[in-house]
Amino acid sequence: MHARIAEALAQLIARDGETPPPPYVRRYLASHAQLGDALDDAHVPAELLPWATGAGIRGMLAASGAREPGSWLEAWATVEPYLHRADVPSRLASLQLAYAGLRFPRVPRARMPAEVASPPSSRLAVLWSQWTPPVNVLAKVAVPVHSLAAWTTLEGRPLLAAGDEHGGIEIIDPADGSAVGERITAHEGLVCRLLSGTRPGQGPVLVSGSADGAVRAWDPVHGSLIDQIRRPAGIWIDDLSAYRDAEDELAVLAVNGCAEVVRWNERMGAEDLLALPGETPRAGKVALTTFEDGTGRRLLAIADGTSLTFRDPEDCRHTAAAFDVPSPVRALTATTRAGQVAAGHADGTVTLWGTAGKTATLDAGAGPVTGLAALAVGSRHLLAACSANDIALWNTEQTGPAALLSGHSAPVTALTRVTVKGGDALASASLDNTLRLWDHQALDAALDAGSPAPPRVTNGVLARDDHTSSPWFALSGRHPGIDIWDVAGGTVVTSVPTEAAPAAVAWARRTQGRTLLWAGPDHGIRMWDAGTRTHLPDPLEGHIMRVRALAPLTTADGRHLLLSGSDDHTAKLWDLDDSSLLCDWHGHDLRVLTVAAATDHHGQDWYATAGADGTVRLWDIENGALRRPLRCMQGRIHTIGINPSPAAGLPPHLASAGQDGTVRLWDLLEHRPLNEPLTGHTSAVRALALWTLDSLGSFLASASDDGTIRIWNTANGHCLLLLATGSPVLTLTAHPSASPTRIVLAFAGEAGAATLELELGERQRKTP
């Protein structure tokens, strides 16, 4: 019946892409399709998705196990968490970009269906895309999450709690990624640990431990405080664990940075149980968990530095077993196999223990193991570990190399098992401000395939060649070599071998022809002639540390120059025709991360540098530094750009983007802010592109770690379009289009690369 209702509602949707569907259709069509086991493109047309206001479709797909590779629904799932407050044009453009990348990878626009390449109602035309963002983002959060816990309500509804670094707890429905109830203001400090349990006949209880030293028990249904287990103090909470005591009541154990263990249940309240000997506070972490041995006896495992002890949780003074461990323990958890405990170590290993001692050692890969989670998928007993930006995954019945779950773009901070339709799944949180859900299909696929191949584009840098009718883009990653792509067709024209992965790439003009430049491993700048397709013999040498940024410039009098910035705190200006060093500029206190150079319509040259010291400096060939540095108050400055010849009414200006997620505009003539900072990004901004369209004005594009690109009107600071990429964009360039109201953008990052054409003229649209 629900499937038939979905079919009937779908007939009410206009296919022009501009007419809003009726309110009931927007809100409930997808829900009817899910209830009718018909969550597919036929029952939920693509024209609905930008207008949908009901439960999250991404979560519905994950909960139902429905997955059609290359479908409109799967494309929507990759961008939906980033678009909750976006307007319809932004939602439509984001959906279109995602679908093109999933369904038509590297297919040029001329060979795509018209409804994909350039729908008449969209501002965006996809020229080609090899951009494949992850499909498992459950939610995008405003504040980084550091702890997770999951439980199932008395009605059988799974829920997920996320504790953030501002002391709050958000309850999230893993079925659709939506928030449940109001955020709980739980602590004055970071919520570093969460666990869940059930009070017999009374529903769930959620226990939180914080950096403020408090441990509190909550009723997550009403967001009310049940009890304060440990009051705020100067010592942080290290870990929490729970078990059912002899009275079948929930018992909670908490340990702080002084290795003091407290036990609590609702009937008896809190009692001090144990204080381990040693220095206080601890330099390392104290971790604990409870488990049952092979006979069903309940034991408490406590890891303190390089010692692991098993104790009776009712009488912690009694030690059942004690072991030395090879490296300090950062995390402990009971596995899904009886009598087994897993310990995550500072050296990146995971060890498995029973009451008789260590049974196995597993290698998690890079960095210390900061979190563990155990779950069962079918007959497999799985163990997951936080390993830098990835999640290491094992079947504990085997001791081979870890499979890797890749997708987070920043360190993973928390893991937990969550029960969804189809069985156990893994939820993860990261400093990239996303929560991700790895269902049993993803887990099985990772284990069966082993470690996946690295992304096609990683840490990519991309540069534009302005001096050819058939533009080329240079694209590099974490591995040696630079691929030269045709911007319109998405094909690799040629590949340039390099000794190592370049940290910076740029196209430049020399008298001899167009040249590709990149930063080599020996701190020199290498060159490749595009005409002869050969390496040039003499690199530009002078920096004593890694070169981070390159900016070429052809001046009004025809000189071909290059500005470079380096970890050695200097910027240098080179003459590319004779490879001579013209200027060696000093002034930055820390690494120079970004440089920009441009010539305005009066023939004045602008040279700018910025970096880790948070300042922008302007330079002159004859006089060196121009005025005082611009103190941007944005943290590290990751990228800058110059618009030397803006639209009428605007002076030549510079844009700076930093760690705080803002973009600031600076008047180059007056050496002052041009207007208020552009805000909206929730993570660091990594790339900028500035341009002017004579008929429309001046514009700016900013790309961020938050998985979005924003298009701004420079004159008034309005965000014209939000393009959800679903994965961080690391480099971005703008290129002129044949149309006076359009611009071609190219971008690259962890998820690949793409080029698209944006319409920036005013469009007449129907309103809801």
Separation between Cα atoms, residue 175 and residue 162, nearest integer Å:
15
* Averaged confidence pLDDT in the chain: 89
The pLDDT of residue 314 is above 90: no
Q: Give the per-residue pLDDT at 527.
A: 95
Helix (H, G, I), strand (E, B) or coil at 157: coil
Q: How confident is the model at residue 176 (pLDDT cuts 50, 70, 90)?
A: confident
What is the tens place of the pLDDT at every residue in 142-170?
Answer: 889 999 999 988 788 899 999 999 999 99
Instruction: Provide the pLDDT for residue 65.
Output: 66
Which residues, including other chains, have CB under 8 Å from residue 364's CB and lie 6 or more apart? 344, 348, 349, 350, 385, 387, 392, 402
Contacts of 642 (CB under 8 A, 6+ apart): 596, 597, 598, 606, 608, 652, 653, 654, 655, 668, 690
Strand 224-230 to 237-244 pairing: unpaired
Residue 461 pLDDT > 80: no
Q: What is the pLDDT of residue 459?
A: 45
* Max Cα distance, the chain (Å): 88
Sequence-ordered list of residues with C-beta below 8 angstroms from that of 207, at least 6 positions apart, any chain: 194, 195, 196, 197, 215, 216, 217, 218, 229, 240, 242, 252, 254
CA 499 from centroid of its chain's CA atoms: 29
- The answer on pLDDT for 529 being more than 50 is yes
Share of the chain above pLDDT 90, in %: 61
Write out the two tokens for 253. Answer: 């154990």
Question: Rounded mean pLDDT of 645-657?
Answer: 95
Both tokens of 392, joined, read 């290491």
Taking residues 213-219, report their average pLDDT: 96
Q: pLDDT tens digits, residue range 228-245? A: 999 998 899 999 999 998
Please report which confidence band the pLDDT of residue 766 belongs to, taking 50, 70 and 90 as the band edges: very low
Query: Does the pLDDT of residue 451 top 70, yes or no?
Result: no
CB-based contacts of 340: which residues, under 8 Å, 6+ apart? 291, 334, 352, 353, 354, 359, 396
Q: What percent of the chain has pLDDT over 70?
A: 96
Give the phi and the psi of residue 275 in degrees, each rounded to 5: -130, 110
Q: Is the pLDDT of residue 764 over 50?
A: no
CA 363 vs. chain centroid, Å, equals: 24
113-135 average pLDDT score: 85
pLDDT of 456 strictly over 70: no
Q: What is the pLDDT of residues 700-734, one digit of tens each?
A: 999 998 999 999 999 999 999 999 999 889 999 99
Supply the pLDDT for residue 562.
Answer: 97
Residue located via tokens 């070169």: 547
* pLDDT of 767 strictly over 50: no
Residue 385: what pLDDT?
96
Give the model's pLDDT for residue 453. 45
Mean pLDDT along residues 258-278: 91
Q: What is the mean pLDDT of residues 495-513?
A: 90
Give CA 101 to chain center in angstroms.
Answer: 19
Query: Does the pLDDT value for residue 468 go beyond 80?
Result: no
Q: Give the contacts of 91 (CB within 8 A, at least 6 positions apart).
A: 49, 50, 51, 83
pLDDT band per the 50, 70, 90 thresholds, residue 470: low
Distances (CA, A) of 372 to 289, 329, 334, 350: 11, 11, 9, 9
pLDDT of the residue at 61: 78
Between 26-40, 455-469, 484-498, the lowest mean confidence (pLDDT) is in 455-469
Instruction: Label residue 554 exposed, middle or buried (CB < 10 Å: 0-12, 13-18, 19+).
Output: middle
Rounded CA-CA distance 624/747 in Å is 33
CB neighbours of residue 567 within 10 Å: 19
Q: How far apart are CA 656 and CA 30, in angstroms?
A: 42
In 699-732, which positions are buried (b, 16+ CB within 10 angstroms) versus exposed (e)? Answer: bbbbbbbbbbbbbbebbebebbbbbbbbbbbbbb
> What is the pLDDT at residue 458?
46
pLDDT at residue 687 in the model: 95
Q: How confident is the model at residue 465, as a pLDDT?
A: 57
Summarize pLDDT for 613-635 with one digit per residue, the tens. 999 999 999 888 888 999 999 99
Is 567 in contact with 548 (CB distance < 8 Å)?
A: yes
pLDDT of residue 653: 97
Higher pLDDT, 644 or 501: 644
Whole-angstrom CA distances from 57 to 64, 183, 187 are: 10, 22, 32
The alpha-helical segments, DSSP class H, found in 65-174 are 72-79, 88-103, 114-117
pLDDT (tens digit per residue) in 403-441:
999 888 889 999 999 988 768 899 999 998 899 999 888
Q: What's the pLDDT at 472?
A: 81
Q: Give pLDDT, residue 423.
A: 81
What pLDDT is stored for residue 763 in this prediction?
59
Assess contact for 458 and 475: CB atoms under 8 A: no
> 122 with 76: CB under 8 angstroms?
no
- Higher per-residue pLDDT: 153 or 578: 578
Q: What is the DSSP letter of 556?
A: T
In this prediction, residue 268 carries a pLDDT of 87
Query: Using one digit for the tens of pLDDT, what is the confidence trace for 99-108?
Result: 999 999 888 8
How far apart, in whole angstroms, are the C-alpha atoms of residue 340 and residue 352?
7
Q: Is the pLDDT of residue 7 over 90?
A: yes
